A and B are shown apart, each in its own frame.
Chain A
Amino acid sequence: MSGPSTYEPKSGFTRWLDSRLPIIRLGWDSFVDFPTPRNLNYWWTFGGILAVFLVIQIVTGIILAMHYVPHELYAFDSVERIRRDVNYGWMIQSMHANGASFFFVAVYLHMFRGLYYGSYKAPREVLWILGVVIYLLMMATAFMGYVLPWGQMSYWGAIVITNLVAAVPFVGDAIREWLWGGFSVGQSTLNRFFSLHYLLPFIIAGVVGLHIWALHVPGNGNPVGLEARKGDDNKKDTLPFHPYYTVKDAFAILVYLMVFCVFVFFLPNVLGHADNFIEANPLSTPAHIVPEWYFLPFYAILRAVTFDIGPIDAKLGGVLAMFGAIAILFVLPWLDTSKVRSMRYRPLTRWFFGFFVVAALGLGWCGAKNPDDYVLGMTGFKFLYLGQFLTLYYFAYFLVILPVMGIVEKPKKRPASIEAAVLGTA
């Protein structure tokens, strides 16, 4: 969809620069004149929202790093000092901690958008895979960031997660010691997590650059899942990115920022855990160790495997299932056999998708609960069983439902073009 460049340098300086470093042309072609399908709905605004949150996290994070002390004896107090004594430190710290949560809310909505509208299908497989890479990097960054305040949940969460690698046969223990930089989670672990937590966001920014590059080759998908036509018809299907989508994205970003600010200023700790206001104590294990909410579905999948499978013991099985739940996203473009992108025209699969969303939220619920507690007080029906059932559905959605549905489902009639879809004529 990205056609020939329409940029024309007006002044002597821009002509001079354009023949040497056409950076203004790049910006013009990518964010001003870029032809964008005219039928994008608000689910397409989360890309812009995510870009804003990456910037918020990096800016607030750099300021926090000026005051934070990565030392096991001082880390907790240094965060408290930021909240108490640094000018507006309470605000910057709250923005950073809640910003992580809102980053994940946006990325999950962005991913569900992609799953519903088939954004991962040809020719956008690389775009999708780069997105999954960003998501993995985000998870690593968020996990290491949560360790830095060195509260009880930070510390014990770090122990639980780093112990997962010990499940790897033969070399697991060695890898774990290498990660720790010692024989337990301690000073070396905290110091290296701080270093990596500072590094990874810039790698994320780099992969985001690739993600946008890969987006701008085929152009945006859209709710009807049809490509914008080439040539003269292109204008009928698309609008220039600016001003149409700059203003629409700006509106969505502002609405999202308002919800964000309600949390930053009025509910700063509601998404955190009370135990993280207790300094890390290796001699006292919290009653329940729970990760941050955005990891809860994967925590439930990890705990769902309670049985040995042949030579694979339950622990390794859980770890494999948890990483498999993300790894499967890399091959999703080849698992979905349907040529129809948008679920709007897939009458059966959209129901399975709906239940997939319910399953993902349900796994989050299971992850927050003790696996031996009963669901809604129903005696005998443990959260463990619910988690196992939903884990099964999670994998079945990708491995059975999508491959089979592409073959057996009869899609609904699709409009001839984006223009036809917008005008309501078939």
Chain B
Amino acid sequence: MKMFRFIAAGLAAALSLTAIGSTAYAAGGGTKPPSHEWHHAGPFGTYDRHAIQRGFQVYQEICASCHALGQMSFRNLGQRGGPFEDGNFPNPNDNPIVMQIAASYQIMDGPNDDGDMFERAGIPADTYPSPFENEQQARASNGGAYPPDLSLIVRARGYGEDYIYGLLTGYHDAPEGYDLAPGQYYNDYFPGNAIAMAPPIMDDMITYADGTEATMEQMAEDVTVFLTWVGDPHMEARKQTGWMVLIYLFIFTIIVYLAYRQIWANVKH
């Protein structure tokens, strides 16, 4: 059947596209981290809401002392698909948990009518405050290394969430003969292996609000899920819309195919 040959050709083209795309994609260097099973993977995957909440706590209490999250506003925490989404508050700016989190930060605002800058409590519309004023200050406080903004860190790395999880759990003593400069640590998955970030998380560093045991692996996994959500906050809506679009197109295609068969039924071609 011509139609099946056509569809087969289409699929072959799509597959080779993906193959070429992923070869270009993976050309980032570094060891391939082991692949992890993520709740949000696959065409039906959704974020594990509890994991994002715990991950936000890990970020807040550990990562946020060095890493900014410049693309995220407090209101995002309460939006559809976010960790503190609440059906009673469709407008996340009204969400009490979000308001409370925002208010716990002091935000520099101004200038006021006297021309002075001033500090005030945060509101949901504020972006998450950065730990440093600028890159120079961040480098000065971190031995010359610049802790990157984590808003897009999962998307900006070749192996995505597997890389982040691998990096957080991949610290070891340097193998014999490997020279580490002072202030550097050996990591299995960081390109070149010498990373300036000290092992950031250890067992029981924080106490989870929901009582989950705070092992290193648990915290690494939770914060990775949180950062995946920050990088792709509309993933759930995207997949749901995708299924509706595909179902619609599929039915439409069948109808058009039947019309095609009928119109061409008595035509030699």
Contact = CB atoms under 8 A, between A and B. Distances in A.
B249 A38 contact: no
Which label, helix, strand, loop or mixed, suits the secondary structure of the A interface?
Answer: helix
Interface stretch (A66-74, A273-281, A388-396): A273-281
B17 A293 contact: yes
A259 B260 CA distance: 20
A254 B263 contact: no
Nearest to B159: A274
A94 B16 CA distance: 20
Interface stretch (B7-15, B49-57, B168-176): B7-15
A101 B14 CA distance: 11
Interface in A50-104: 77, 80, 83-84, 90-91, 94, 101
B129 interface: no
B238 A91 contact: yes
A261 B267 contact: no
A254 B246 CA distance: 10
Nearest to A271: B21
A251 B156 contact: no
Contacts of A278: 152, 156
Contact of A247 (B9, B239, B252, B259): B259
Given A91-B238, A261-B249, A265-B239, A270 B259 contact: no
A252 B256 CA distance: 10
B141 interface: no
Contacts of A256: 10
Interface in B145-195: 151-152, 155-158, 160, 191
A422 B269 contact: yes
B83 interface: no
A39 interface: yes
A94 B269 CA distance: 39
Interface stretch (A7-15, A130-138, A325-333, A363-371): A363-371
Given A77-B71, A287-B29, A270 B14 contact: no
Nearest to A108: B13
Given A255-B253, A265-B241, A270-B21, A244 B259 contact: no
A351 B248 CA distance: 41
Interface in A345-380: 361, 364-365, 368-370
A350 to B, nearest CB: 17
Contacts of A272: 21, 25
A416 interface: no
Contact of A269 (B16, B155, B191, B257): B155
Contacts of B268: 38, 422-423
Contacts of A422: 268-269
A185 interface: no
B2 A42 contact: yes
A191 to B, nearest CB: 24
Interface centre among A267, A369, A370 (most CB of B within 10 A): A267
Contacts of B29: 287-288
Contacts of B43: 266
A399 interface: no
B122 interface: no
Interface residues of B, number: 57
Interface in B216-269: 231, 233-234, 237-239, 241-243, 245-246, 249-250, 252-253, 256-257, 259-260, 263-264, 267-269
Nearest to A106: B13
B268 to A, nearest CB: 5
Contact of A254 (B24, B241, B253): B253
Contacts of B25: 270, 272-274
A244 B25 CA distance: 42
B245 A265 contact: yes
A273 B191 contact: no
A38 B269 contact: yes
A254 B155 contact: no
Contact of A42 (B6, B191, B243): B6
A105 B13 contact: yes
Contacts of A271: 17-18, 21
A244 to B, nearest CB: 6
Contacts of A266: 43, 239, 242
B17 A251 contact: no
Nearest to B268: A422
A364 B152 CA distance: 28
A80 B155 contact: no
A196 interface: no
A250 interface: yes
B28 A84 contact: no
Contact of A248 (B233, B234, B260): B260
B6 A80 contact: no
A354 to B, nearest CB: 14
A288 B249 CA distance: 39
Interface string B87-98: 000000000000
Contact of A277 (B6, B10, B152, B233): B152
Interface in A256-309: 256-259, 261-275, 277-278, 287-288, 290, 293, 296
Contacts of B28: 274-275, 287-288
Nearest to B246: A261
B218 to A, nearest CB: 26
Nearest to B26: A274
Nearest to A239: B267
Contacts of B20: 293, 296, 364-365, 368
B156 A274 contact: yes
Nearest to B257: A251
Interface of B: 2-3, 5-7, 9-11, 13-14, 16-18, 20-25, 27-29, 43, 71, 76, 151-152, 155-158, 160, 191, 231, 233-234, 237-239, 241-243, 245-246, 249-250, 252-253, 256-257, 259-260, 263-264, 267-269
5 contacts: A42-B2, A250-B256, A265-B242, A277-B156, A293-B17
- Identify the 6 closest CB pairs spanning chains A and B, nearest first: A265-B242, A277-B156, A42-B6, A271-B21, A254-B253, A277-B155
Given A255-B10, A265-B243, A270-B18, 18 more contacts: A41-B2, A42-B5, A77-B71, A80-B71, A84-B71, A90-B234, A109-B13, A244-B263, A250-B256, A259-B11, A265-B239, A266-B239, A274-B158, A277-B152, A293-B21, A296-B24, A368-B20, A368-B23
